[in-house]
Amino acid sequence: MGRLLLLVLAAAGMSGCLPSNVVAPEARRVRTPLEDLRFEPAEAADLPGFWASESIDGPMAAVLLRVFYLFGPDGTFTGAALLDEDPPRFVVLSGTWSFDSGMLRLDDAEPARLERAGDRLRLSGADGSVILVDEGHP
């Protein structure tokens, strides 16, 4: 009886009763651990695309859970910040960006140092730093 049950279970497993899982191409990438990244100064051409936060450090980590940005090649941006409130909520951002001498400025905000390591950007300023990962171009 035990062998029959084992045989039935094995046959059920081979018959496709279990769903197949397909991993999206962008999720198949092997990402370098944050501590192994070697950031270098970025250029304005590195910025256009869709970016999502992977790490937030410093004082801003106390209020931000995640940030998302879509930077256009025309100097515009839109984004959303997920605030650590009860309950958490999104704040939508949009405006213009400019880049000069390694510094990124969003609208009239204080500039942040922009650095790149592979598919990641790091923005650093007085309130901390955020590491963004490239999510592609929509």
- pTM, rounded to two decimals: 0.75
Number of domain units in the chain: 1
Residues 114-126 have pLDDT tens digits of 999 999 999 999 9
* 110, part of any domain: yes
CATH of the domain at 130: 2.40.128.640
**Which phi and psi (to 5°) does residue 7 adopt?**
-65, -40
* 92, part of any domain: yes
Residues 32-84 have pLDDT tens digits of 666 678 999 999 999 999 999 999 999 999 999 999 999 999 999 999 999 99
Find the radius of gyration of the CA atoms of the chain.
Answer: 21
Amino acid at 4: L
Are the beta carbons of 50 and 136 closer than 8 angstroms?
A: yes
Least confident of 10-19, 41-50, 102-111: 10-19
